[in-house]
Amino acid sequence: MRIDKWLWAARFHLTRKLATQSVECGRVLVNGGIVRPSQLVKPGDVLSFRVVDREWEIVVREMNASPVSLKEAKLMYEETAASRERHIQAVEMKRVGLHRISLQTVIHSRTERQN
């Protein structure tokens, strides 16, 4: 199955055109190499790509020619442990960063009121 069609069927992109553009821009690696939208993927291939603000590294498990439900789509791939760990760290950093920003805002507003 074509990589662009698989990314669309696995619900990583809303449309096949967006999946194709992502592959054409070199944002998708298959087994460590940059590919074209017509590249065929098979079970066992390792895909690395970025969607919005999340880095994914997955192993292809199943093929489906058309988009399926979200529950079924999650069965089409398995996320690697390293990818999951990076995601958890990114979420934690965001949470800490947002907390730090809000704390700085409170401190700044208090100092303005005192002056």
CATH fold for the domain made of 1-79:
3.10.290
Considering only residues 99 and 73, tell me which one the structure prediction assigns the higher pLDDT. 73
Going edge to edge, which strands form the sheet with 77-79? 33-34, 28-30, 46-51, 54-60, 77-79
> Any idea which of 6-10, 49-53, 76-80, 93-97 has the lowest mean pLDDT?
93-97
Q: Say if residue 52's pLDDT is above 60.
A: yes
Q: What band does 91 get if pLDDT is binned at 50, 70 and 90?
A: confident
Q: What band does 89 get if pLDDT is binned at 50, 70 and 90?
A: confident
- The percent of residues in the chain predicted with pLDDT above 70, rounded, is 83
Q: Which amino acid is at 18?
A: L
Domain layout of the chain by residue ranges: 1-79, 81-115
Q: Is the dihedral angle over the CA atoms 31, 78, 16, 49 positive or is it negative?
A: negative
Point out which residues pair with 51 in neighbouring strands: 54
Q: What are the DSSP calls for 48-102, one per residue? A: EEEETTEEEEEEE----SS---HHHHGGGEEE-HHHHHHHHHHHHHHHHHHHHHH
